[in-house]
Structures are given as C-alpha cells and as structure tokens.
Structure 1
C-alpha cells in the first residue's frame, strides 16, 4: 500500500471539503435547481483542474514569484466574490413575490441551458480566481512525491486525486441541498441562505481586495 498516497488523499479530502467560497456558491446554485447545483460543482472541479495543472507545469511558481501577477489574480478573485456576494444580499433583501419569472426567448430548454452554463461558469471562476489555491498546491504536492519516483507522473496522480475528490464532494453537496429543498426553498429559508452566503462571499471578497500579497500567500 502506498502510505503517502493514502495520507495525501486524506489531506486533500479535508482541503476540498473545507467550507469556503466554493462550498457557498455550490449551495446557493443548488437552491435554484439540482442541475444548477451540479453544474456549479463541476465548474469548481474545473477550476481545481486548472490549479493542479499549473502546479504540475510549474507555472504556479511563477505566480508566486511575481507579486504583481499574484496581486492581479487576487484583485480579480476578490472583485468576483464581492460581485456574487452583493447579488446574494440584494436577492435576500428583495421583497417576496408570487409572480412567476418572465418567459425567455428560446423556450424552457434554452433557458435551462443558459442557467446551467451560468452556474458552471460561476463555479469555475470562483475556484479559478482563488489566488491561494496555486500556492497551496505548489507547497503541498511536492511533499507527497517520494524521492525514488519521477516527479511528473506522481504529481499528475496527486492532481488527479484532488480533482476526483472535488467531483465526488461538490456534486454530493448539491444533491444534498436539493434533497432538502422542501425546507430550504421556503421563502424564509431562501432569504436566510442568501443572506448568509452573501455575507460570506462579500467578506471573502473584501479580504482578497484589501489584504496584502504576503497575507494571501500564507
């Protein structure tokens, strides 16, 4: 048995399952529909794939070594999280209405496809614009590469483990939220979730926008 691989899987599982911006956007999108939640979850996994690929290619080291580039990613990520947070807070404060949504051009199929694409994009951008992720992978992956093995195949294996864990965890979260939809989609519960998720995303966005580069690399 590969003890280091088992240990890495445990560490990676805890890292993936840790509540944060990814978890928040998946929950929020899952309240819209199961398809939106799963699409958002797949988008998050896609963002992780980008980060792990950067770490494998060594490009994450460039990001860390160039403070201006790191700060640019940090500002983009903060601005995007702040945007999502403000949208959620505005939705939480919006007066309840029983009026159905306006029909969109192209019919329900086109509308559903646009919603899924939007949720997929939200999940991907939320994770891909997280400046801490490449630093984390760059510092974590090499620790689980044995000295007697080739670094590239081993790092690819570890990166695959992270993406697979994300593809298991985040869709499971989306399905759980959808399964609890009977209670979570009540007007009061929806407002509460929107308020909590909006506050969390806004705080995370502000931290990224105002935090120094050194703090973001911890």
Structure 2
C-alpha cells in the first residue's frame, strides 16, 4: 500500500468527522426552522412535526446542492437576488406568525366551547418546513461558505460537496428527531385551552420577530 494512501484516508476521515461535529453545532443553534418545527409538533402532533422536519431537510439539501453546483453563488453576486429572497422569507415568517396570533385570538373568543386544533395536512406541514428553509437567503450564503471548507485536500470538489449536503441534512434530521419526540410527549399539557392560546401567542410573536429581523438585516 502506498504511504500516501493511509495519509489520504486519514485526511478524509478527519474532514468528515470535523464536518459532522460542525453540522451538529449549527443544528443546535435555534432559528426560524426550529420555531416552525416545534410549534407544529406541539400544536398538531408529533407526526406533523416530523413531516415539517422532512420539509426542512429537503430545504437543506436544496441549498447544499445549490452550493455544490455554484447556484447559491448568485446570492453573493447579485444584491437584488439576495434581497428579493430575503423579503420573501421574511414575508413567509411574518405570515405564519400572524396566523398563529390570529388563531390565539380566535381561541380566546371560543373558550366557552374549546376544541382541539384541527389536523394540518401533511402536504402543508412539509411545505412550511421547506419554504421556511429555502426562503432564507442566509442559508444559501452559509452553504457556499461552509461546505467547501471541509473538502479534503486534493479531492474532487463537486462529489464531496454533494456528500456533505446529504450529511448536513442527515445530521440536522438526527438533531430534530428527539426534539419532535419530546414536543410530542408534552403535547397533552399544551392542549389545555389557556396554555394552547399562550403557546400560539408566544410562537406567533417569535415568528413575526424572526421575520422582521430577516427583513431589516443585510447580508
């Protein structure tokens, strides 16, 4: 076996382990996706939360593959493209937050006859997870600056960026699965009318605040 071969294998293993560790740290940082996923899991159930997670991971794959093929570089090259996507993403978050606040207000008016929240179609839950991620241009800028750092020296860039995109989504999925499970475990507490209303108010306010922050922030 050539001496360079074990050395190259060691570099590859080091790169992969470093990437997985960094991806876990990134997944642990709460953001818009965390707020949307946990709200969906608590309000409408664990299964709906898992579907939202799958939508979010699809968004991560989209940004990772876009970085691999150079498409997300357009966000860095074009201020108009970046700002346009930023405004769309902010609008999505504000709309979801306003909807949660409206549902909390409706719940206040109907406390005399409380009802469990209506089930959300899986397509809608998936779409919310996907749009929340894809409509955030910072995810695209992050992907193009983050993924290439871990490509092993001398290795083909494109295949490794694709591999890291899949690993990124897998790590993110592993992080959110126990969170959704825990949210499902405490769901019974949040089904009480007063508690559920407060949850909608808090989650709605958080989503609106995240949307406003995204709207006013620059790259």
TM-score where L is the length of structure 1: 0.87
Does the CA contact (< 8 Å) of 1:37 and 1:171 recur in 2? no
Pick one of 164, 185, 200 that aligns with 2:206: 200
Residue 152 of structure 1 is matched in structure 2 by 158
Runs of 4+ in 1 over 4 A off after TM superposition: 99-102
- Displacement of 1:99 after TM fit? 5.0
Q: Which residue of 1 aligns with 2:193?
A: 187
Match runs of 1:1-218 below 5 Å: 1=10, 2-31=13-42, 32-94=44-106, 95=108, 96-98=111-113, 100=115, 115-211=121-217, 215=218, 217=219
CA displacement, residues 29-54 of structure 1 (integer Å, 9 cap, x when unaligned): 11212221111111111111111110
Check the 8 A contact 1:81/1:126 in 2, yes or no: yes
**Deviates further, 173-182 or 63-72:** 173-182
The alpha-carbon deviation at position 116 of structure 1 amounts to 1.1
SS of 1:59's equivalent in the other structure is coil
Q: Unaligned regions of 5+ residues in structure 2, if any? A: 1-9
CA distance in 2, matches of 1:163, 1:173: 16
Contact 1:177 1:184 in 2 (8 A): no
CA deviations over 1:45-70 (Å, ceiling 9, x no partner) = 11111111100111011121011011
Check whether the contact 1:48–1:128 (CA below 8 A) recurs between aligned residues. Answer: yes
- Do the aligned partners of residues 122 and 143 (structure 1) sit closer, same or farther apart at CA in structure 2, a change above 3 Å counting? same
Return the alpha-carbon distance in structure 2 between the equivalents of residues 192 and 64 of structure 1.
Answer: 40
- TM superposition shift of 1:18: 1.3
Structure 1 runs not aligned, ≥5 long:
103-110
- Bigger-Rg structure (1/2): 2
Distance 2:59 2:103 in 1: 26
Change in 2 beyond 3 A, CA 1:100/1:195: closer
1:5 CA drift (Å): 1.4
Mean Cα deviation higher: 31-40 or 164-173: 164-173
CA contact (8 A) 1:42 1:171 kept: no
- TM-score (norm. length: structure 2): 0.86
1:129-156 per-position Cα deviation (integer Å, ceiling 9, x unaligned): 0110010011111111122211112111
